[in-house]
Structure 1
Amino acid sequence: MPHPEPTDPGPLYSLVEDPLGRAYLRLLGRPDGADMVYRISGAVSADVPGDALAPGLRHGAKLFGFEGFNIRRLYREPETNRLHLLTRELVFYTDPSEPTRILREWRNPLDGRTYPVVPVNNDPVNQGPFPITAGFAGPPPREVHGRLVWSLDIPPRTDLGATLGEGFGLPGGVYTTWELFDFSIDADAVEAGGRVPRGALPVVCLWSRVGPWPPFTGLSEAATNGAGVVYHARSWTLGGFGELEPWLRAAVEADYPAYAAAPREPGPSQTSWSSFWANQLGEGSLTWAQWCEANGR
């Protein structure tokens, strides 16, 4: 058997005594150190309190399909018990009636202007490090009808005005949202241990986000009295980039080739907002308002 690489997560996985702790690590990534994919598929709809933007933009209007993936790998800090999750995520806004047709532009129904559509393209989105010991357990799941479910309710809050110098039309320049996850696996997939499994654990994840308008829309939360969007998607694990559908692989290879593989080492993370600031606003060379004025037609 070949000697493991210093960054191989397998030896740390093998330390964990709790079968549910090992299962939780497999939700995050493959213990064999290869890439794993969460294929993401859903939709984005308008969330308008009081239907106050009608008739131009009604509450509940389905604005976009939401199709893409997160590609990830587990990484061990050499000669330590610390584990990192290294990921990139690329999700396209698509035609709501034709989910495999990627949208390149979108007409804002309130100002009548058409804006270029900027996909979620975050490189990287990393977590950790996590100390892994024999007693590692992870959050507790609930067993329901023969399935184990891990629920994570996360309320991000970021002062973008302070961190980026750009408020994106958010109240006080502060980004707030909810990220709601339910990961589930077949209870029979939990293994007793003794080996490092190869391949991806079959996982289904349900995800919702309630938050501000994507910055490419030319809409601001402050100017629309707290209106925004609801993302609702499901995702499922694949063994790697090669298992994505041909249309999605082709889009990546044409315009986003770095997203065909997970990062190779830890680094600072991006969000959709910091990515837009870096790639569309030139790290502050333009304000968001200037970008909207220059790109809306």
Structure 2
Amino acid sequence: MTIVKMILVLVVFVGLVQKASMFLVQPNTKTSPPSSIKDFTRVIGSIDSNETVVTYLNGSIYGRLNTGPLQMLFLFEGYNINRKVPLPDGSYQSLSREFVVYRDIHTRKIKTVFENPFNNLTNEVFPVANDPVNAKLTKNGDYSSFFIPNELAVYDNNYILEYPNVLDPKIYPEYSAGKIYDAAELFTYFANMTDINNASKPNVPNTVTWSRHCQFLPWMEMGPTKGSLFYSALSWKCLNGLSCVPKDIINIVSTKYKTFLKAPKTFDDPNETSWSVFKKIIDNRRHNKLPDIIIPQVNVSVNVSIVEPYVDNRILRCLYRSNFRVNFNASILTQIYGQQSINLLNLKGQANITTSRVTSNSEAQMQVSTNGLFIDSKTKMPISIWYNPFTNKTVDVPILNLTETWNLTKDTSYSINMKDIDSIGLSVVSEQYSNAKTNQNWCVSVTNFIFREVELQKTKSKLFGSFHRYSNWFKWMEMGEQEGTLVVKAIFSTE
């Protein structure tokens, strides 16, 4: 590497650090970022074990074969109901259940049958009914957070899950993608420091972004077909228990899943997942000599109303009114089948977002110009060369300079009115690939923007959120034949 390139990297880094320093210093708060188990528990639940907390979830699911384009498949809506129980050693038990339904992308009706575009099968749809979903928050765990502007504390939690699949492909060939369950789950919790600093509050309001990249759901009957699902969702605590959950979901729970109306009181294991619940149902049907899949009868109406996803006009006006510059910090992780994830690099920089009206099928078009530097995940310093742990080679690291166009259509974007927290969320999903047939140079991006209601009326609005990208390896990494997915998770905010 030349001396000129080293100097250029350092000059750019100093500029980026100055502009992105908001992630290191909170202007109006003299205290350090929250890092205690107690504060984290207040953000994700309540430290009062007698209080039940309902966290509402609203999102969408997209699917992609390795040789085809991305398709929106379902809307995804439900809740987690939980309580946190303090233990004598200072730890907490997290006791919860979760119930989520799949909705039709056009009518928003709860789906019990799905016409699968990937294999042309009619699928029986199984809701998410996981009980329990428990965890122990240990006293010595990592509960660190960091600040972004507007008095917000951020908890960044990412999980790359690689463990034995409960659905053995030899016994459940139609339903199992392989011997290993392979998924990435990326969570970001945002909480106001004013609420956290109020020690009298056992329960702190939050806003959560969540993205997931995983194998096809078992009930989709995709077997080992190469491809995956991409989830985008926003979540927040309900102010009044289950009142924020739609009535059609409550009706199903009240008649068929009554235990999901209350949080658990005792710690049970093992935890349930969509895969393990599905296995139990199939095993029970086989034991009773019933078919594995039982397609329910569906009432088909010619007068079904279409309720397409849309972007709130207040958000569009806000986006049209001004350009946005956001600072971001990102982690770059590996998702490799059957292997533990590695935090390869970090990334720090800015993105400029310009939104314009268009006259085609798009509601709007976002142009996103990003520049930044790759950072060593251990030293936290910028790098211009990188040691590849998979190939044992050293490669040159470029300065990031990227411009993309995201179309805001009914198939790629929608807004969510987050009434309980006086905010509106915007989800934007985009895809790019140079050769779909060979699965080369592909990427799927999931971005969740959050606008406070009060900001939408301002000439210069503020926003924050998270960006998730799933792709093949960066070309400059020279990964050779190494299979896997590169996962980029960024948290951003205007100044």
Give TM-score scaled by structure 1 length: 0.77
Question: Could you give the per-residue CA deviations for residues 75-112 of structure 1, whole angstroms, max 9, x where no partner exists?
Answer: 234x554420001001101111233x110101123443
What is the 5 A alignment of 1:259-274?
259-268=260-269, 269-274=271-276
Aligned partner of 1:279 in structure 2 is 281
* Equivalent-residue separation in structure 1 for 2:262 and 2:296 (angstroms): 33
Aligned partner of 2:39 in structure 1 is 23
Aligned partner of 2:83 in structure 1 is 73
* Equivalent-residue separation in structure 1 for 2:45 and 2:171 (angstroms): 34
* Equivalent-residue separation in structure 2 for 1:295 and 1:250 (angstroms): 21
* Equivalent-residue separation in structure 1 for 2:245 and 2:95 (angstroms): 19
Aligned partner of 1:124 in structure 2 is 132
Q: Offset of 1:186 from its aligned partner? A: 1.6
* Equivalent-residue separation in structure 2 for 1:283 and 1:210 (angstroms): 29
167-176 or 204-213: bigger deviation: 167-176
Q: Offset of 1:113 from its aligned partner? A: 2.6
Aligned partner of 2:238 in structure 1 is 238
Judged with a 3 Å threshold, the aligned counterparts in structure 2 of structure 1 residues 60 and 164 are, in CA distance, closer, same or farther, namely closer
Aligned partner of 1:176 in structure 2 is 182
* Equivalent-residue separation in structure 2 for 1:165 and 1:126 (angstroms): 30
Judged with a 3 Å threshold, the aligned counterparts in structure 2 of structure 1 residues 26 and 48 are, in CA distance, closer, same or farther, namely same
Structure number with the bigger relative contact order (C-alpha 8 A, sep ≥ 6) is: 1
Instruction: Indicate which of 140, 147, 150 corresponds to 2:144.
Output: 140
Contact 1:167 1:173 (8 Å CA) reproduced: no
Contact 2:113 2:296 (8 Å CA) reproduced: no
Aligned partner of 2:438 in structure 1 is none
Within the alignment, does 1:107 sit opposite 2:112 as a pair? Answer: no
Partner AA of 1:190 in structure 2: I
Contact 2:214 2:230 (8 Å CA) reproduced: yes
Partner AA of 1:238 in structure 2: C
* Equivalent-residue separation in structure 2 for 1:49 and 1:286 (angstroms): 37
Partner AA of 1:149 in structure 2: V
Within the alignment, does 1:217 sit opposite 2:220 as a pair? Answer: yes
* Equivalent-residue separation in structure 2 for 1:162 and 1:119 (angstroms): 18
Contact 2:167 2:275 (8 Å CA) reproduced: no
* Equivalent-residue separation in structure 2 for 1:243 and 1:109 (angstroms): 32
* Equivalent-residue separation in structure 1 for 2:277 and 2:197 (angstroms): 39
Instruction: Indicate which of 133, 149, 152 corresponds to 2:157.
Output: 152
Within the alignment, does 1:255 sit opposite 2:271 as a pair? Answer: no
Give TM-score scaled by structure 2 length: 0.48
Question: Could you give the per-residue CA deviations for residues 106-163 of structure 1, whole angstroms, max 9, x where no partner exists?
Answer: 11234433121101110000001523xxxx6742212112211111110111212588
Partner AA of 1:188 in structure 2: T
In terms of fraction of residues, the more strand-rich structure is 2
Aligned partner of 2:105 in structure 1 is 96
Question: Could you give the per-residue CA deviations for residues 182-229 of structure 1, whole angstroms, max 9, x where no partner exists?
Answer: 111122222253x4x25x421111111101111111112x2x22x021
Q: Offset of 1:41 from its aligned partner? A: 0.3
Partner AA of 1:156 in structure 2: L
Partner AA of 2:61 in structure 1: V
Contact 2:98 2:129 (8 Å CA) reproduced: yes
Q: Offset of 1:264 from its aligned partner? A: 0.9
Q: How many residue pairs were aligned? A: 259
Partner AA of 2:184 in structure 1: W
What secondary structure does 1:279 align onto?
helix
244-253 or 67-76: bigger deviation: 244-253
Contact 2:97 2:132 (8 Å CA) reproduced: yes
Partner AA of 2:55 in structure 1: Y
* Equivalent-residue separation in structure 1 for 2:244 and 2:116 (angstroms): 35
Contact 1:85 1:128 (8 Å CA) reproduced: yes
Question: Could you give the per-residue CA deviations for residues 51-78 of structure 1, whole angstroms, max 9, x where no partner exists?
Answer: 1xxxxxxx2211000000111001234x
Within the alignment, does 1:207 sit opposite 2:210 as a pair? Answer: yes
Judged with a 3 Å threshold, the aligned counterparts in structure 2 of structure 1 residues 295 and 103 are, in CA distance, closer, same or farther, namely closer
* Equivalent-residue separation in structure 2 for 1:65 and 1:74 (angstroms): 29
What secondary structure does 2:43 align onto?
helix
* Equivalent-residue separation in structure 2 for 1:153 and 1:217 (angstroms): 26
Aligned partner of 2:403 in structure 1 is none
Unmatched tracts of structure 1, length 5 or more: 1-17, 52-58
* Equivalent-residue separation in structure 2 for 1:103 and 1:29 (angstroms): 30
Contact 1:166 1:173 (8 Å CA) reproduced: no
Partner AA of 1:275 in structure 2: V
What is the 5 A alignment of 1:4-19?
none
Judged with a 3 Å threshold, the aligned counterparts in structure 2 of structure 1 residues 283 and 248 are, in CA distance, closer, same or farther, namely closer
Instruction: Give the fraction of aligned pairs with identical amino acids, expressed as a percent.
Output: 23
* Equivalent-residue separation in structure 2 for 1:172 and 1:74 (angstroms): 35
Aligned partner of 1:37 in structure 2 is 54
Partner AA of 2:283 in structure 1: L
* Equivalent-residue separation in structure 2 for 1:188 and 1:286 (angstroms): 56
